[in-house]
Amino acid sequence: MGPLAGIRVIEMAGIGPVPLCGMMMADMGAEVFLVERRSAASSESTLHVSKRDTMKRGKKIVALDMKDPACIQVLLSMVEKADVLIEGFRPGVMERLGLGPAICLEKNPALVFARLTGWGQEGPLAQVPGHDPNYIALTGVLHHSGDADMPPQAPPTLLGDCAGGAAMMAWGISSALIPALREGRGQVIDAAIVDGIAYLATFARSFYHAEQLSDDRGASWLDGAAPWNRSYGCLGGGYITLCPVEERFYLVLLAKLNLTEHPLFISAKQFDNTCWALQVDHLKTLFGSESRQYWCDLLEGSDACFTPVLSYGEAHEHPHGKARNAYVEVDGQWQPAPAPRFSVTVAEPAWEETPSLHAANILTGMGVPTELLRAAGVTTSE
């Protein structure tokens, strides 16, 4: 039923954003064939796994030995019948395996061959290892994260791997599928996390060019200097966050907090930064005097642009998420439901993967010749 129903995707097993991209496509109805290695998974690839690997949901798992020429032939046969291939190896690895884009596109000219790396297929850093903080640091995004008196710190794996990597590659694949399906014209996608983050930062950069954000970290309203755009600690633990940028919402906040007539606020305009430091100190004391629940009862649901700062363990319990069925429980683990939502091609993902035990049946159903499977040692008893 999903919008990608009928699309076949080969995902080369890896770590980080590639599995997330594959999950996103499976959630949207694509048939995703996850090609894992037959040997034990690396410790790096299972660091995020507790009871189950949530990013394998909806995927059909096939175990192949990429050092075996017979298994390479099986994979090339899969390529002939697929619409998309996604991989996240260092540049040159797929070519050395005999699975580079030139070979795959010769087998299937309509194939979308999507390559996801940190630094891209070319450039002086192309072969250098890195992780999420490294990529966002090079784009200027990390510079504006965190308090001014502390080193920059971004949310774990979210901005680089997931936003600049997985989400941007999924966007690229969706775009490339249009000429592939209309005209049979496949192509290679060079999805670099560092490029994706720089692109997504266009909105933030517009504030930078408008001098609403500066190189002086923590001195602008956008990166924590304004008392009305930051988070505060509460009595007994927990945090709340505010962001009433528009004046009419800012006035609601002042009214709710009984600050409309307070000397620190009555004489100062919202964007008068000469008063911000003293106002921040006042609000720190104010919010620290009551519990988070007290402030939720007072401010949540109003036009004050207020929310509690929830942990992953709390987020699925919030009434708004519950009302929207934004999370699904599987084996005691809460997983976010697919997004965005569609009115007609409704995404109804399979919340579990199809294990490699059924690899032969999976590949036979895909159209891979039985003789190739035998030569590669792919059997129903695998």
**Domain shared by 251 and 160, yes or no:** no
282 pLDDT above the threshold of 60: yes
With contact defined as beta carbons under 8 Å apart, do 234 and 309 qualify?
no
Residue 381: band (very low, low, confident or very high) from pLDDT cuts 50, 70, 90: very low
Asked if residue 299 is part of any domain, the answer here is yes
Q: Residue 316 has what pLDDT?
A: 96
**Domain shared by 35 and 133, yes or no:** yes
**Domain shared by 258 and 146, yes or no:** no
Q: Does the annotation mark 149 as catalytic? A: no
**Domain shared by 40 and 149, yes or no:** yes
For residue 336, whether the previous peptide bond is cis, meaning omega lies within 30 degrees of 0, is no
**Domain shared by 38 and 186, yes or no:** yes
Domain of 79 in residue numbering reads as 8-200+339-375
Asked if residue 1 is part of any domain, the answer here is no
CA nearest neighbour of 338 among 57, 53, 88: 57
**Domain shared by 63 and 180, yes or no:** yes
Mean pLDDT throughout 203-231? 95
Asked if residue 99 is part of any domain, the answer here is yes
Asked if residue 252 is part of any domain, the answer here is yes
Q: pLDDT tens, 125-147?
A: 999 999 999 999 999 999 999 88
List phi, psi (to 5°) of 120. Answer: 100, 170
Mean pLDDT throughout 44-62? 82
Give the whole-angstrom CA distance, residue 331 versus residue 369: 36
Asked if residue 83 is part of any domain, the answer here is yes
Residue 286 one-letter amino acid: L
Q: How many separate domains does the chain show?
A: 2
Q: At which residue do the structure tokens 């008068």 appear?
A: 272
**Domain shared by 134 and 254, yes or no:** no
Give the whole-angstrom CA distance, residue 7 versus residue 319: 35
Provide, for the chain, the percentages of residues in helix, strand and coil under a 3-state DSSP scheme, each rounded to the nearest 5.
40, 15, 45
**Domain shared by 190 and 47, yes or no:** yes
CATH number of the domain that residue 371 is part of: 3.40.50.10540
Residue 239: band (very low, low, confident or very high) from pLDDT cuts 50, 70, 90: very high
Asked if residue 216 is part of any domain, the answer here is no
382 pLDDT above the threshold of 80: no
Report the predicted TM-score, pTM, of the whole model to 2 decimal places: 0.93
Alpha helices, DSSP H only, in the chain? 17-27, 69-80, 93-96, 101-107, 132-139, 168-183, 193-200, 202-209, 247-256, 263-266, 276-287, 292-299, 312-315, 319-323, 359-366, 370-375
CATH number of the domain that residue 303 is part of: 3.30.1540.10
Q: Does the annotation mark 161 as catalytic? A: yes
Residue 43: band (very low, low, confident or very high) from pLDDT cuts 50, 70, 90: low
**Domain shared by 13 and 149, yes or no:** yes
Of 19-23, 204-208, 356-360, 366-370, the one with minimum mean pLDDT is 356-360
| Beta-carbon contacts of residue 106 (< 8 Å; ≥ 6 apart) | none
52 pLDDT above the threshold of 80: no
Instruction: Single out the catalytic residue among 131, 143, 318, 358.
Output: 131
**Domain shared by 113 and 248, yes or no:** no
Give the whole-angstrom CA distance, residue 298 versus residue 287: 12
**Domain shared by 32 and 104, yes or no:** yes
Question: Helices 292-299 & 247-256, crossing angle to 10 degrees?
Answer: 120
Asked if residue 150 is part of any domain, the answer here is yes
Instruction: Single out the catalytic residue among 161, 195, 223, 282.
Output: 161
Mean pLDDT throughout 272-278? 95
Q: Residue 90 has what pLDDT?
A: 96
Residue 349 CA to its chain's centroid (Å): 17
